Amino acid sequence: MNNNMEPPVTASLETSLGPMALEHPIINASGTFDALVADAVLAADLFEQFPFAAYVPKTVTLQPRAGNEPHRLYETAAGLLNSIGLANKGIENFIAEDLPRLAELPVPVIASVAGENTADYGRCCEMLDSRDEVTAVELNISCPNVELDGKALGCDPVRTEKATALARAATSKYLVVKLTPNVTDIVELAKAAEAGGADCISLINTVHGMALDPWTLKPALGHTTGGLSGPAVKPIALRAVYIVSRALDLPVIGMGGVTTAQDVLEFLAAGASAVAVGTASFRDPLLATRLAGELRDLMEIRGISSIAELVGSA
C-alpha cells in the first residue's frame, strides 16, 4: 500500500459490557448458532478460532420443551419466520451436558433463560449462579407466559420488572434483559428492566408475523404464527437500539438482520456496545469469522480508532 492509501488510524475493536471485556463487538444471537454442533461439523479449530466475542447458547427453560409442531421455519422475501417454540433440553441437562464443554470456549458464556411465569426466572438464575462457566445471564422475556394468557411477559412492564428483580435477587452475574419488539413503547419495557436491576438491555427478539403456503393458502407454519428475523427487521431493530440507548444509562446489545460489517457499524453508531448475528449465520455459518476484520477495515477507512468513539454517534 502506498502512503496515500495508508489508513489514517489503526482501529481497536475492543469493547465491553459492564465488567465483561470483549475482544470485538460481534457476538451471536441466542438460538441461531449451536457452538457444540458447529464444532463437530464446521471446522476442527472452531473453539480455538471462535468467531464471536461472547457466546450465547439457545434459551433454556426449567423443564425440557419439545417445541411447536412442524413446519417451524419458513423463508419469506426478506427474512425468516420461525416458530420453534423454545424447544430445549431443560436447564438441568444444559448445566450437566453443555456447560462443561462450553467452558472450553475462549470467550465468556452468556446463558439464556426463559420462564413460563415470573418465578421461573429467579429459579433459573439461582441454578446458574454457582456455575463458573457462566459469566452473564440473559433473560429471554419474549416467550408466551401462562400468567398472561400466553402473551409474552416482555409485553407487560410490571411483570418485566418483577421477573428481572427475581433474577437480580438470585444471581450476582451480569444480567442482560432481552426485549421483544412486539410492544407499543419499547422504552417503557427497557425502563422496567432497568428498575428491576438489569445491567444491560439486548434487543430485538423476533417480530410477530405469519405466512401462507402459496398453494394451499393455509398457514405455512405448524404454529400458524411465528417470529420474523433477518434483513426485513433491521430498521425496526435499529430504531429500538437508538431510542433505548438514549433513554437509559445501560449498555445495549443490538441485533436484528445483521448480515454485513456495515450493519455492525450502523448498530454501534445507533447506540449498541455489542452486536449480535442471528439469521445470517444460517445462510453462512462462518460469516462471523470475517465480520470483525471487515469491521476493522470499515473503521480505518473512516478514521475511527475505537468502538467507544463509534457507539451512539448516530
Ligand X SMILES: Cc1cc2nc3c(=O)[nH]c(=O)nc-3n(C[C@H](O)[C@H](O)[C@H](O)COP(=O)(O)O)c2cc1C
| Secondary element (H or E) of residue 136 | strand 136-140
CA dihedral 30, 32, 37, 42 (to 10 degrees): -130
Minimum gap (Å) between residue 227 Cβ and ligand X: 7
Minimum gap (Å) between residue 120 Cβ and ligand X: 15
Active site members: 143
Q: Are 28 and 178 in contact (CB under 8 A)?
A: no
C-alpha cell belonging to residue 240: 429500538
How big is the site for ligand X, counted in residues (CB under 6 A)? Answer: 26
Minimum gap (Å) between residue 294 Cβ and ligand X: 17
**Distance of alpha carbon 198 from alpha carbon 187, whole angstroms:** 14
Residue from 68, 112, 135, 171 in contact with ligand X (CB under 6 A): 112
Q: Which residues between 250 and 279 bind ligand X (CB under 6 A)?
A: 255-258, 277-279
Place of cell 405455512: 220
Cis peptide before 71 (omega within 30 of 0): yes
Q: Is 118 in the site for ligand X (CB under 6 A)?
A: no
**With respect to ligand X, which residue has the nearer C-beta, 57 or 122?**
57
Residue from 181, 209, 226, 230 in contact with ligand X (CB under 6 A): 230
**With respect to ligand X, which residue has the nearer C-beta, 79 or 304?**
79
**Distance of alpha carbon 99 from alpha carbon 94, whole angstroms:** 6
Q: Sketch the per residue contact string, 195 through 214, with ligand X: x for CB under 6 A, - otherwise.
A: ----------xx--------
Residue 118 CB-density burial (10 A; 0-12 exposed, 13-18 middle, 19+ buried): buried
Minimum gap (Å) between residue 111 Cβ and ligand X: 11
**Distance of alpha carbon 290 from alpha carbon 230, whole angstroms:** 18
Q: Are 238 and 268 in contact (CB under 8 A)?
A: no
Residues that bind ligand X (CB under 6 A): 29-32, 58-59, 80, 82, 84, 86, 112, 140, 178, 205-206, 229-230, 233, 255-258, 277-280
